Amino acid sequence: MSKKKKYSHKKRKQGLPPGSLVYTGHREDVPTTVYTLRYNVTDFHQEEVYRPKWQQGQGVLWIDIHSLTDVGFIQQVGNDFNLHPLLLEDVLDTQQRPKMEEYDNGLFIIVPSLHLDVSTLDLQVEQIAFFLSEHFVLSFQEDPDDDFMGVRKRAQEDLGRIRKKGADYLTYTLIDTIVDSYYTVLDELETVLFELEAILHQQGDVPWCKGRIFDLRRAVNGFRHQMVPMRDAIARLHQTESSLVHDTTRVYIRDVVDHIAQIIDGIDYQQSMIANTESLYHAEASNRLNNVMRLLAIISTIFMPLSFIAGVYGMNFDNMPELRTEYGYFWVLGVMGMAMVGMLIYFRQQRWI
């Protein structure tokens, strides 16, 4: 999204009191879809409708909301689950940085879902928000597409530990799914970087590589801009003293913190490699320019004595005996040719050409 578009979204909230619900994203106005799940060790129920009353039952309730353009519906969810107005404001303000906040009735977490358009190197950011309480989890996805279909399938088929654990483990699983997708972005950026390096080594300073390097650097910097606060947010989740996060789940959350640290290390490595690639591009450009200047200097040097000879015999003096020599013209051409060949041999011996 362009800076101009971001500014216009922020401008829509100017003058409104804190807690005012305004969707600031740029996604199209598409209908909101909801997946309501309730499960425990023995039972699993799922419906594609909003079922807030299911929170009264046994087990874990997960309400997964896609598309945030329906502000009235988001406000209804907030009223049904007693969510703070500032929390709902952050859900709809999709330009939030990753964070973790504690409320009286639960934990609020914002994480970015990242996807890379390899053709344009545009890093697409989707904000996903979670609210964790004792027996339920709310997830708010900005895009209408589904990032957690695999998690729902694992819960339905009773794969892994989801059905055996509580709401905190479900929240960990959802966050871990997003963090795993960061490795895909990291690998895609690395592939583009290696391709650029190979082109520069094989073909030199190809003109379009300069713009590609700039786009790559912008994508990597944007990636790191998201990961640093993400690391701090998940570290806070790991260190929280809230009883909503059980000790058995903290071990898994610590593993997510480690994964994010690995990703940041990979980003830092890529930043240094991009700097080296940019230096290689400028070195190749300078080398090509030096080669052109050297060629022009050699040509000028070769023609300097030839121009001198031609200039001497081009003077209009009467007393120039060589002008009346029968083979003078051919002698002069021969001297010019030997001078040119001699200089080329000398330049070759000096490895200037």
Residue 58 identity = Q
When comparing pLDDT for 333 and 152, which is higher? 152
Residue showing tokens 């892994």 = 160
Q: What share of the chain is helix, strand, coil (3-state, %, to 5)?
A: 60, 15, 25
Within 13 Å of residue 277, how many CA atoms lie on the same side as its CB? Answer: 26
Section 331-349 average pLDDT: 84
Contact 273, 193 (CB under 8 A): yes
Tokens of 220: 């990597």
Contact 83, 130 (CB under 8 A): no
33-39 and 136-141 strand pairing: unpaired
Q: What are phi and psi of 220, to 5 degrees?
A: -65, -40
Task: With cut-offs at 50, 70 and 90, classify the pLDDT of residue 341.
Answer: confident
Report long-range pairs for 203-210 (Cβ below 8 Å, ≥24 apart). 204/284, 204/287, 204/288, 205/281, 205/284, 205/285, 205/288, 209/281, 210/281
Tell me the pLDDT tens digit for each residue of 161-219.
999 999 999 999 999 999 999 999 999 999 999 998 888 888 877 788 888 999 999 99
Region for 165 from its dihedrals, namely left if φ exceeds 0, alpha if ψ lies in -120 to 50, beta otherwise = beta
When comparing pLDDT for 327 and 134, which is higher? 134
Q: Considering the entire predicted model, what is its pTM?
A: 0.80
- Residue 110: Cβ-neighbour burial (10 angstroms; 0-12, 13-18, 19+): buried
3-state secondary structure of 222: helix
- C-alpha 106, offset from chain centre: 32
**CA 21, CA 6: separation in Å to the nearest integer?**
17
In the chain, % of residues over pLDDT 90: 58
Contact 115, 82 (CB under 8 A): no
136-141 and 60-66 strand pairing: parallel
**Can you give the residue ranges of every domain in the chain?**
3-284, 313-353
Tell me the pLDDT tens digit for each residue of 23-52.
888 877 788 899 999 999 999 999 999 988
Residue showing tokens 């591009």 = 281
DSSP code of 240?
-
Contact 202, 66 (CB under 8 A): no
User: What pLDDT is attached to residue 7?
Assistant: 42
**CA 124, CA 117: separation in Å to the nearest integer?**
7
When comparing pLDDT for 337 and 323, which is higher? 337
**CA 140, CA 25: separation in Å to the nearest integer?**
13
Tokens of 29: 């106005």
Tell me the pLDDT tens digit for each residue of 137-153.
999 999 888 889 999 99
CATH of domain 3-284: 3.30.460.20
Residue whose C-alpha is closest to residue 252's, from 170, 181, 152: 170
When comparing pLDDT for 115 and 15, which is higher? 115
Residue 84 identity = H
Please give the full DSSP string across 302-347, using - where no structure is assigned. Answer: HHHHHHHHHHHTTS--S--GGGG-TTHHHHHHHHHHHHHHHHHHHH
Q: What angle do CA 158, 163, 169 make, to 5 degrees?
A: 125
